[in-house]
Structure 1
Amino acid sequence: MNNISTSNYWDTSLYQDKHAFVWQYGEDLLQLLNPQPGESILDLGCGTGQLTEKIAQSQAEVMGVDYASAMIEKARENYPHLRFEVADARNFQVNKPLDAVFSNAVLHWVKEADQAIASIHQSLKPGGRFVAEFGGKGNVLAIATALSNALEAINIPAQALNPWYFPSIGEYATLLEQQGFDVIYSTLFARPTPLAEGEAGMANWIRMFASSFLAALSDEQQIQVIRVIEEYLKPTLYQQGTWKADYRRIRIVAIKL
């Protein structure tokens, strides 16, 4: 369910090998989901399938869906015994109502939040639960500021290229309530996240998760912009040979009324 508003190409090996934190941090979100044997659960934006497999270990009936076909191909390769399908968070359908929809590190790619919430709501049984974590208000603020400054210095309007949606708890809970959910748990917290590959960590992160900002640039311009960003961020986000991303995450649990 990644990069919904820009290109639909994801480097799955770069994602899986260098950005494993995406699902590793999601493992304790599974405790909030608390999947039970026999429950029907959708992993919305499953990526390469690691958390889908964790859900399956609870003996729940789970299916993983993602907007990116490359992710689904990799998930099927990783876990051939599980079911994975290409689907869009904004308008997916299910054959029968589900006990739960789970979503980790996905919904900040979906600017049409009301459409996604409507799709999630119609897919659940009454009393079914929606458990999600994604980027919240202030997420990657330092990185986004550095990106904007570097691009605007070469007369590229960064805001028009921004693929992300980072709501406050109040904003997102209100959207859920308007569509028939009861929000029973919500939190917003900082989680500075170490990036792999030492000095290359920030460049890798930008190429993986902020590619839409760079799409119109030549290779040489991309290298120059990333260098400017690194210089700007080094005093605050680079320590002892490791970059950190300045993540802030929202967690939500909501019940369909």
Structure 2
Amino acid sequence: MRFYARKNQADIVREWDSIAPLRDLQVSMHQDASYDKVLEPWILTRAQGADAQSVIDVGCGTGRLTSKLSERSGEVLGIDPSGVSIEIARAHDHVSRFQVATAEQWASRVECTPFDLAVANMVLMDALDLDGIVQALGRLAAGGRVLLTIAHPAFWPIYWDYAHLDGFDYLAETVVEAPFKTSSQSYGLVATHVHRPLQQYLESLDRHGLRVTSLEELRGPERLDQFPYPRFIGIEAAAST
């Protein structure tokens, strides 16, 4: 576990290029209980309720969630800065569209028209520039809705056992490099996320015209006696026009 004041975005993309094949195997083989039982069901239930005809899946990874969203909407686009992830997504899904891009890059395209729904599943805490990606989400879903899931900033550091380490301050934005693992498996690779206090997320959403309509603390799939606190947060927001 390492803390950094900053890190290069290209390095983070290379991490995900390395992780992508394992991550796709995890999800496709139902080896990530948090994804299977908590995150994907929350997104899909809310997406169905949004009655969206067009959906963009930001930070789609290898596209497994994008494929599920395609079953519920007429037009679905998955974007991710990891080229390896997008190659894998295209190999298993020939219906959805996939492009190598960040939210900021896609939102800046002249021909980009707003989507009814923008989804960002466990993405915001992987972005070095929070305001940049939140502003892009507001543009991508202008007049529509946004669904977000993030690691719960109050309890994620406790769950992964770094809240007590020197250099960690809940109220400070901190780049965290940690082993890539799920609750049950470790793979010898590293992944980077950014710890931010919850207030920072909410202020950024408000600043960029995303009005929070629902915020839900989501427990992991483990028993209460194993970990009694929520590990994730699900946020639904309305994007201004």
User: TM-score higher than 0.5 here?
Assistant: yes
CA deviations 1:142-197 (Å, max 9, x no partner) are 42529968xxxxxxxxx665432244443312211111121101123332569xxx
Show the counterpart of 1:251: 234
Contact in 2 for aligned 1:41/1:102 (Cα 8 Å): yes
Residue of structure 1 aligned with 2:65, choices 31, 34, 51:
51
Distance 1:188 1:169 in 2: 12
Contact in 1 for aligned 2:121/2:149 (Cα 8 Å): yes
Q: Is 1:10 aligned with 2:26? A: no
Distance 1:7 1:124 in 2: 24
Q: CA RMSD in A?
A: 3.0
Show the counterpart of 1:80: 94
Show the counterpart of 2:202: 173
Change (3 A) 1:23 1:72: farther
Moved more, 174-183 or 6-15: 6-15
Residue of structure 1 aligned with 2:160, choices 132, 143, 149:
143
Pick the structure with greater CA Rg: 1
Distance 1:147 1:78 in 2: 42
Structure 1 residues not aligned, in runs of 5+:
150-158, 195-235, 238-243
Distance 1:146 1:31 in 2: 32
Distance 1:84 1:105 in 2: 18
Moved more, 171-180 or 135-144: 135-144
Contact in 1 for aligned 2:123/2:150 (Cα 8 Å): yes
Show the counterpart of 1:124: 141
Please give the secondary structure, in 2, of the residue aligned with 1:96. coil
Distance 2:117 2:158 in 1: 31
Post-superposition offset of 1:32: 1.2
Between the two proteins, the alignment pairs up a number of residues equal to 197
Please give the secondary structure, in 1, of the residue aligned with 2:106. coil
Contact in 2 for aligned 1:98/1:123 (Cα 8 Å): yes
Distance 1:4 1:32 in 2: 32
Contact in 1 for aligned 2:57/2:66 (Cα 8 Å): yes
Give the letter aligned to residue 89 of structure 2.
Answer: A
Post-superposition offset of 1:38: 6.7
Distance 1:249 1:173 in 2: 15
Please give the secondary structure, in 2, of the residue aligned with 1:145. coil
Q: Is 1:108 aligned with 2:91? A: no
Moved more, 25-34 or 138-147: 138-147
Please give the secondary structure, in 1, of the residue aligned with 2:149. strand
Give the letter aligned to residue 139 of structure 2.
Answer: Q
Post-superposition offset of 1:91: 3.6
Moved more, 35-44 or 97-106: 35-44
Distance 2:216 2:50 in 1: 24
Contact in 1 for aligned 2:157/2:163 (Cα 8 Å): no
Structure 2 residues not aligned, in runs of 5+:
1-8, 167-173, 178-191
Contact in 2 for aligned 1:121/1:180 (Cα 8 Å): yes
Give the letter aligned to residue 51 of structure 1.
Answer: L
Give the letter aligned to residue 11 of structure 1.
Answer: I
CA deviations 1:41-97 (Å, max 9, x no partner) are 101111111111111111331001111111100000010222100111344325211
Post-superposition offset of 1:116: 0.3
Contact in 2 for aligned 1:36/1:59 (Cα 8 Å): no
Show the counterpart of 1:225: none
Distance 1:131 1:4 in 2: 26
User: Which has the larger share of helix?
Assistant: 1
Post-superposition offset of 1:249: 0.8
Give the letter aligned to residue 125 of structure 1.
Answer: A
Moved over 6 A (4+): 35-38
Give the letter aligned to residue 174 of structure 1.
Answer: E
Show the counterpart of 1:96: 113
Please give the secondary structure, in 2, of the residue aligned with 1:165. strand
Contact in 1 for aligned 2:176/2:193 (Cα 8 Å): no
Change (3 A) 1:62 1:146: same
- Percent sequence identity is 22
Moved more, 17-26 or 139-148: 139-148
